[in-house]
Amino acid sequence: MKPFTLDAVLDYRKRTEEEIQMEMVSIQKSKDALVLEKKNEEKELARLIDEMGAAKCRDIVVSDLILYEACIRRKKRDVIDIGKKIGEVDARIRRQEKKLVKARQDRRALEIVRDNRENEEKQRRKQVEDRFLDEVGVLRFGGGKQ
């Protein structure tokens, strides 16, 4: 009877590890997009603040000044919201990293078990072969009778 091999289980663990890695890449891409969006929002905020400062120097209408301030408050809120989203994505990345480490440890443990079983099976086969050869030798040469 052929002993149970762990190849199917190892293949499953490798696929699981690869799926976790692909998900991490996807999450990292979404984080990169959020960071870029935040950077653009900050640039827009800086532009609005500069425009408002320049407008104050040229005698701006109060209603326009109020609009500038409202836009600036909205942009600040947007930047803060994006920062919170980036924090949430960072938390997801950390969770995925932990899952990936666990998956790698599980796969590695199974590889060690598989290697140990293969070595044990090789030793067992060698013992069987050695016993067989000893028996053949004994039968061939008369079992030590003189």
Per-domain residue ranges for the chain? 7-124
State pLDDT tens for residues 15-59: 999 999 999 999 999 999 999 999 999 999 999 999 888 888 887
Predicted structure pTM score = 0.71
Pick the closest to residue 6 from 124, 133, 136, 117 (CA basis).
Answer: 117
**Residue 106: C-alpha distances to residues 11, 65, 126, 131 (Å):** 12, 61, 30, 37
Q: How many CB atoms lie within 10 A of CB 88?
A: 12
**Residue 108: C-alpha distances to residues 13, 15, 22, 115, 121 (Å):** 9, 13, 19, 10, 20
- Cα 139 off chain centre by: 61
The mean predicted confidence, pLDDT, of the chain is 89
Euclidean distance between CA atoms 42 and 49, whole angstroms: 10
Could you give the residue ranges of the DSSP H alpha helices within 1-146?
7-57, 62-140
Q: Which residue has the higher pLDDT, 20 or 146?
A: 20
Tokens of 92: 């997801």
